[in-house]
């Protein structure tokens, strides 16, 4: 659970971006896996999050909706492949697996704050790992039975962008490991994040 000022700021932000995007329509090919999506085949249980997901996410429930052309314009090819086509990136060869800076990780698709560096830990998997999200309601979960295993896929509830998977082999206090693709995230330093929260907390007339 996050503090009330932050929760209110995040809620206001989500409503604002939702209102701006509510007239947009998603195209039918957004949930299709890329045929050339690269990933690292697992050689142990820890690398199970290195497989792409085939979960069908209900995009009708998300707040932020964009056309396929708009997603491609907003994201890099790698971000698009991972976040919109449910691919995955190589371990130890991504932006944030070894990032130790203090700050917050936002969704690359809609700028929603998802994970805090205070909840990040060294999992040894080669992907950024967290033992909880900032706000559980912002991270959706779906059962993923692809590739002959049962996993739990995670995605942004605001825009539907694929994030990664969550496992039950994490540290205390939750015992969870959110294994997240760096390509689905954007990092903001703590100082900049505090300013962002303050701005989102202001009445719309003052922004």
Q: Which of these is catalytic: 10, 40, 110, 179?
A: 179
Q: Where are the alpha helices (DSSP H) in 147-189?
A: none
Q: Is 48 helix (H, G, I), strand (E, B) or coil?
A: helix
Query: Is 159 marked active-site?
Result: no
Residue partners of 114: CB distance under 8 A and separation at least 6: 105, 106, 107, 133, 134, 138, 139, 156, 163, 185
SS3 letters for 49-100? HHCCCCCCCCHHHCCCCCCHHHHHHHCCHHHHHHHHCCCCCCCCCCCCCCCC
Handedness of CA 113, 115, 118, 122 (dihedral sign): negative
Terminal-residue alpha carbon distance, the chain:
26
Q: In this structure, what is the dihedral angle of CA atoms 59, 63, 64, 66, given to the nearest 10 degrees?
A: 40
Give catalytic residue positions: 179
């Amino acid at each position: 659970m996050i503090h009330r000022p932050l929760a209110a700021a995040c809620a206001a932000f989500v409503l604002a971006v939702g209102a701006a995007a509510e007239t947009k329509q998603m195209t039918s090919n957004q949930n299709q896996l890329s045929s050339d999506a690269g990933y690292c085949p697992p050689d142990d249980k820890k690398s199970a999050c290195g497989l792409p997901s085939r979960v069908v996410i209900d995009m009708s429930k998300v707040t932020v909706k964009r056309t396929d052309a708009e997603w491609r314009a907003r994201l890099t090819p790698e971000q698009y492949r991972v976040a919109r086509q449910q691919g995955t990136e190589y371990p130890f060869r991504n932006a944030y697996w070894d990032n130790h800076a203090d700050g917050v990780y936002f969704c690359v698709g809609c700028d929603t704050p998802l994970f805090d560096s205070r909840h990040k830990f060294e999992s040894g998997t080669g992907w950024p790992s967290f033992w909880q999200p900032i706000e559980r309601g912002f991270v959706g979960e779906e059962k993923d039975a692809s590739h002959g295993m049962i996993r739990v896929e995670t995605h942004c509830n605001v825009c539907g962008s694929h994030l990664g998977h969550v496992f039950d082999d994490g540290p205390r206090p939750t015992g969870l490991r959110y294994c997240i693709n760096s390509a689905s995230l954007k990092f903001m330093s703590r100082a900049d994040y505090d300013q962002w929260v303050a701005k989102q907390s202001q009445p719309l007339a003052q922004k």
